[in-house]
Structure 1
Amino acid sequence: MPSQKTQKMSSKTSLKRSLGIPTLVIFGLAYLVPMTVFTTYGIVNEITGGFLSSAYFLTLVAMLFTAISYAVLSRKVSSAGSAYAYTRLGFGSKIGFLTGWTVLIDYILLPMLNYLLIGIYLNQQFPSVPGWVFALAALVLVTTLNIVGISAVKSANVVIVALQCLFFAVFLLVAVRSFQSGVSPLDPFFRSDFELSAVAAGAAILCLSFLGFDAISTMAEEARDPERTVPRAIVATTIIAGIFFIGISWTAYMAFPEVITGPEAESSAVIMLANIGGNFLTSLFLAAYVTGATGSALASQASVSRILYSMGRDSVLPKRVFGVLSRRFRTPVGAVLFVAAVSLSAVFADVDTVASLVSFGALTAFSLVNLSVISVFLLRKNVEGTKSYFVHGVIPSIGFLLTVWLWTNLNMSTLVVGVCWILVGLGYLVFLTRGFKRPVPRMTGA
């Protein structure tokens, strides 16, 4: 039996379990970044022919089944979890490694997506300045802060969240007053020109809007009664986020039903806001969005650089590049600069391509998490009663089929690049294990 001294030492070194369901839900919603509803507003509106609300509804349904699978596995893995941890449990270390590798494409490309959108929206407001100039300036600023250290920037998160809340309050007030009299409340969901294939293609891209509900599982070691609170918070966050996205897109259509196509589609959110609220709403949006995107880029670049550093430290990636800290700043400079180098592609990339690749990684991971539930419970016969078969068999099967369906609705170039990324990961795994003669390394932090 451990001594009183040992128990005290253990309590000091373990994470404090202080998070309840409300706190976890707020964490999940903050991680989702509510302003992301405008990230893909234009391209998905164009793809679906104006059925953005329907696409969000379809995405919510698919994500809800997947969220339940995450909730189920979070009870099984009470430590900090992720798609990587769950697929390791379901299918072993090799599939777990490839899942972590696939999700890595999301982490690496998210900063680029933020820089790209900062450039697009600021160029819309200041057309005399090329968008790549704004994107490059944001990249240099964020990269510098990540190298020097970002402790001084943490307090800015409060301002960023408050500014977003202010914008949404003003947007709803202005938009409701601008509703078009000839538009039916059902028009954002269904009209005579509704095409399910187009809506599914849009829904596949919108999966990136839900990236983050799974982040709640990483807080398992700091949650009170994690087997109860974490699963409920995951599902609640998914539902709340979905309702919010549907509500904002529905409101936007009721006030501005036009669908903008062509080169202006990527920045059509600004055009929509200018039409219903003029310069005031547009300026407030740019302030909220650019600060939010900068904060998101700062957090995502810091996060992925730490993941790459952990992988370098564990010799999963070249240690000399990724596994070394700066002696002066105590930050993973090599990993930070690598992410910045990848993000330079924002000068040439477009929102559709980057968003689709992020969704590819997410949908692949979500599909494998659904299958992991079936593997852990059904195939290993850890089920008892009809309810258990429904929760551990029917729900993850539907979730898997829906995510695969959305996955196949991504454009062909995205699928080719995504599959190539997985094949590179497989080849790298063969190299690391010397043809699977050595143990598969753990991807710390993935």
Structure 2
Amino acid sequence: MKEEATLRKSLTLFQVVFLGLAWMTPMIYFSVYGIAYENSHGMMTQAYLLAFIAIFFTAFSYGVMSKKYPTSGSAYAYAKRAIHPYLGFLVGWALLLDYLFSPIIACLTFGIYLHAQFPSVPAYIWIIALNLLLAVVNIIGINFSANLSKLFVLIQIGFIAIFCTVLVNKLMSSGQPVQPLFSGDVPISVILAGASIICFSFLGFDSITTMSEETIRSEKTIPRAIMIIIFTAIVLYTGPSVLTQLAFPAMTFDNVDTAGFELVKMVGGAGLSSLFITVLIMAIFTQGLSSVVSVSRLLYVMGRDSILPKRCFGFVHPKLNTPTNNIIIVSVISLLALVIDLEMAVKFVSFGALSAFICVNLSVIAQCYWKDKQRSFTQTIKYLICPLIGACFIGWLLSLLDKDALIMGLVWLLLGISYHLYRTKWSTASRTGEAPDLKQPTSV
């Protein structure tokens, strides 16, 4: 009997870290600068620190569950095994919003920026070109994707270092007194509102849990990588925010959406702004690359578990050891970037990610505190108090999404429920093979 192809363990700690940072995209600091600045009334540093605290508890929960279940299913697998298979399906379905629409956002922004730079070339040409390139690179293999992501993430970090160096020189040469960084003039409610926007800059640390089955010693590597990613992110975000806040206590922008570009031009002139556009395009590419890796692995696990048609979604190429069918499917779906609105895509991502985050926190309580009865004083803090804080923080962020985002998310969940009912009925009626037993976890 021919042995079925599986994902190959080959990723090291730092390859996983760079894939996660590529998904998160350090340059997102500049992409959301205008919106974050307005919502926090300029208190960017304080808002970033509050956002980090909110995300830290959920990141801790992901680390706990990735040790318990070193599978590529991420939040889907955790909720399925810790709480209930049906909830696992709903979490996986919601998570698909986050992961499926992330490549769409990458393609959209790539087309927008390059069309702005080269107006004679239509945006759809850039969108299609990036889509094809992402598919080819992902099909070649995850190690190639990881190494390319590492290079481009290092370039992004290098740009942020240059930006901070120019700002330091500007502060030192200005001769003007530095304004206090922390001020009581801005209410905490305003800073919290800014933090709710800035939290989305941290989305993506969870994507590496979809690579568990391709990671060497994943039960140790993945939790370490998650913490390295979020601590690296807070350094990369607070560094420029502190310096910018000190150098420019009050700013106004011509266009909120391009405020990051205006800031860079204000700090370093035309030379630094030209470098900014180049690095930003690289950042968009690496974010798209990593997001295709993540969603193709999530689809693979859902296919292997027969939640999605196994023959198609559970297929791994015998030579390349990559889920080629899923990569092609994701590339086709990503063509929605030709017709969909960027704001709508962002709303889908936000709803999917935050819904999954809540369930991962609850999964820690269900698995460790309830099932495994880990209830000592220290364990109560780790497996009950911390996840509850994380779930409350994320639930609060979810409640801040606008009505359209919540309605679209609920419609997507209803579609998932309808599909699950149809799939279950079809499996029961079929006599050509056994129906998948959703009550038993799939072995990894």
Normalised to the residue count of structure 1, the TM-score between the two structures is 0.79
1:230/1:307 Cα in 2 relative to 1: closer, same or farther (>3 Å)?
closer
Contact 1:201 1:406 in 2 (8 A): no
Q: Deviations over 1:117-147 (max 9, x none)?
A: 2233334545666655544443354456667
Q: Paired residue for 1:414?
A: 405
> CA shift at 1:172, angstroms?
1.3
| Alignment deviations for residues 326-374 of structure 1 (CA, whole Å, 9 cap, x no partner) | 9999987764454344434434555444333212211111111111111
Q: Does 1:260 align with 2:258?
A: no
Q: Identity over the aligned pairs, expressed in percent?
A: 33
Q: Is the 8 A contact 1:55 1:199 kept in 2?
A: yes
- The answer to whether structure 1 residue 192 and structure 2 residue 185 are counterparts is yes
After the TM superposition, which residues 17-36 of structure 1 pair with which residues of structure 2 at under 5 Å, given as runs?
19=12, 25=17, 28-36=20-28
Deviation at 1:255, TM superposition (A): 4.1
**1:151: Cα distance to partner?**
8.4
Deviations along 1:216-272, one digit per CA (max 9) or x if unpaired, are 584477445945x643443343233223222233334444542437xx322221121
Contact 2:138–2:289 (Cα < 8 Å) also in 1: yes
- State the match for 1:440 in structure 2: 438
Whether 1:377 and 2:368 are equivalent positions in the alignment is yes
Greater mean alpha carbon deviation, residues 91-100 or residues 49-58: 49-58
Q: Give the AA of the match of 1:91.
A: I
Question: What code does the residue aligned with 2:181 have?
Answer: L
Q: CA deviation at 1:192?
A: 3.0
Q: Which stretches of structure 1, 4 residues or more, deviate above 6 A after TM superposition?
A: 13-18, 147-154, 323-334, 441-445
Greater shift, 88-97 or 286-295, is seen at 286-295
Distance 1:387 1:381 in 2: 14
Structure 1 unaligned blocks of 5 or more:
1-12
Q: Are 1:298 and 2:289 an aligned pair? A: yes
Whole-angstrom distance in 2 between the partners of 1:145 and 1:61 = 35
In 1: Cα distance, 2:144 partner to 2:211 partner: 24
Q: Alignment partner for residue 250 of structure 1, among 224, 242, 252?
A: 242
Q: What corresponds to 2:162 in structure 1?
A: 170
**1:207 alignment partner in structure 2:** 200
Give TM-score, length-normalised by structure 2: 0.79
Moved more, 156-165 or 66-75: 156-165
Residues 1:408 and 1:340: Cα distance change in structure 2 (over 3 Å): same
CA contact (8 A) 2:205 2:229 kept: no
The 2-side partners of 1:380 and 1:328 are apart by 40
**Structure 2 segments unaligned to the other structure (5+ residues):** 1-5, 429-434
Mark the CA change 1:173 to 1:200 in structure 2 (over 3 Å): closer, same or farther.
same
When structure 1 is superposed on structure 2, of 375-384 and 136-145 the one drifting more is 136-145
Residues 27, 216 of structure 1: 8 Å contact kept: no
1:260–1:199 CA distance, 2 compared to 1 (3 A): farther
Kindly provide the amino acid, as one letter, of the partner of residue 404 in structure 1.
Answer: G
CA contact (8 A) 1:115 1:297 kept: yes
Distance 1:155 1:397, change over 3 A: closer
- 1:104 is aligned to 2:96: yes
Paired amino acid for 1:82: S
Deviation at 1:291, TM superposition (A): 1.9
Residues of 2 paired with 1:204 and 1:290: CA distance? 23
Q: Who is 1:402 aligned against? A: 393
Q: Which moved more, 1:291-300 or 1:149-158?
A: 149-158
Question: Which whole-Å CA distance do the structure 1 matches of 2:110 and 2:400 have between them?
Answer: 27
- Aligned-residue offset at 1:293: 1.5
Query: Residues 418 and 398 of structure 1: is their aligned pair in 2 closer, same or farther, counting only changes over 3 Å?
Result: same
Note closer, same or farther for the CA distance 1:107–1:443 as it changes in structure 2 (3 Å cut).
farther
Q: Provide the residue aligned with 2:268 in structure 1.
A: 277
- Rounded to whole Å, the distance in 2 between the matches of 1:223 and 1:325 is 19
Q: Does 1:431 align with 2:426?
A: no
Q: Distance in 2 between matches of 1:182 and 1:429?
A: 63
Q: Compute the displacement of 1:430 (Å).
A: 1.5
Indicate the residue corresponding to 1:43 in structure 2: 35
Deviation at 1:164, TM superposition (A): 2.0
